[in-house]
Amino acid sequence: MSIYKRMEEDWETYCLMAGIAIIEEFSKPKKHIQIKQGKKYWCYQAIRLKMKDKETIDRWINITRVWEKKLNQRFITNYFQEAHKENDQYLVYFLPNWAYHILKEIKRFPSKHTDYLYRERIRNWKFGGNYKKKYVLSKKQLTSIESVGKNPYDKLFLNKELAAGAFVVSFDLEFRGSHNGRMDLCMSDKYKDFLEFMLSIANKWKWSTKDHLSPVSVEYSRNRGIKASDQFNFRLKTNKLGDIYIIYLDLY
């Protein structure tokens, strides 16, 4: 069974993969000041998935729609019924309710930066928008997203199929090198803990070329005046890619 098919059928699997997608590709709901009728309000950036690959974004929309029906919840905004094209990319907006239900299942994202921003957004989710005073979630509901007990992501260290599925999802999002088989995951230092998490999974199943992250030079960008943060990456063994893909030959 493909990882995407499994995501349609199993809520926990969907949430685990959504957590990875949120870290790698979704916008982060950062806090900013907005002025309305002469008053300043704290607002949050929209939760958005934006990418050039329409096939991948449609897949996420379709699977999420499945869970909207199963759970009788709204997870995607009604602005667009399908991926909206903007210049050369496609985008779709997700609701705070989606992030709340994801965190309710997985308890925490394997990225401190992402976890903080999404929790901040959920805690400050209000009826009628950020200008209103009444919060959507009760204290009891907020307690349901607190991290207690076992980490659901530990299953990726116990279940090789689920681990392979996580990498297949990541291949469609943040991984580079699919054109030449030199697959590597490269991100800025604010996501270093997530890189270490993904690397630890790869090390567990003997898929990575090294047991540690490698720094990536950003001097060229800095010399051009670009404020580039430190970056790190790890690479997968080319001869192990088949081990990952063979588990999920039917990706669609």
Q: At residue 148, does pLDDT exceed 90?
A: no
User: Are residue 164 and residue 227 in the same domain, yes or no?
Assistant: yes
The pLDDT of residue 43 is: 85
Question: Residue 12's domain is classified under what CATH number?
Answer: 3.10.28
Q: At residue 252, does pLDDT exceed 70?
A: no
Q: Which of 103, 119, 149 is the last residue of a domain?
A: 149
DSSP 187-243: EEGGGHHHHHHHHHHHHHTT-BS-SS-EEE--HHHHHTT--PPPEEEEEB-GGGHHH
Find the farthest-apart pair of alpha carbons in the chain and give their distance in angstroms, rounded: 61
Task: State the sign of the Cα–Cα–Cα–Cα dihedral 99, 49, 241, 201.
Answer: negative
User: Are residue 81 and residue 163 in the same domain, yes or no?
Assistant: no
User: What average pLDDT does the segment 170-196 reach?
Assistant: 92
User: What average pLDDT does the segment 89-114 reach?
Assistant: 97
Q: At residue 224, does pLDDT exceed 80?
A: no
Cβ-contact 34, 130 below 8 angstroms? yes
Lowest mean pLDDT, pick from 91-95, 127-131, 227-231: 127-131
The pLDDT of residue 129 is: 61
Q: At residue 167, does pLDDT exceed 90?
A: yes
Give the pLDDT band of residue 223 (cuts 50, 70, 90).
confident
User: Are residue 112 and residue 11 in the same domain, yes or no?
Assistant: yes
Residue 17 CB partners (closer than 8 Å, separation 6+): 3, 7, 165, 166, 169
User: What average pLDDT does the segment 179-193 reach?
Assistant: 92
User: What average pLDDT does the segment 16-21 reach?
Assistant: 99
Q: How many domains does the chain have?
A: 2
* DSSP E strands, 26-146: 31-36, 39-44, 47-51, 84-86, 89-94
User: Are residue 137 and residue 173 in the same domain, yes or no?
Assistant: no
**Percentage with pLDDT > 70 across the chain:** 96
Tokens linked to 198: 């993904």
User: Are residue 10 and residue 129 in the same domain, yes or no?
Assistant: yes
The pLDDT of residue 248 is: 64
DSSP strand pairing (39-44 vs 31-36): antiparallel
Look at 77 and 133; give whichever has higher pLDDT: 77
User: Are residue 170 and residue 219 in the same domain, yes or no?
Assistant: yes
Mean pLDDT for the chain?
A: 91
Is there a domain that residue 65 lies in?
yes
Q: Which domain holds residue 242?
A: 159-247
User: Are residue 143 and residue 206 in the same domain, yes or no?
Assistant: no
Q: At residue 80, does pLDDT exceed 90?
A: no
Q: What is the pLDDT of residues 47-64, one digit of tens each?
A: 999 999 999 999 999 999
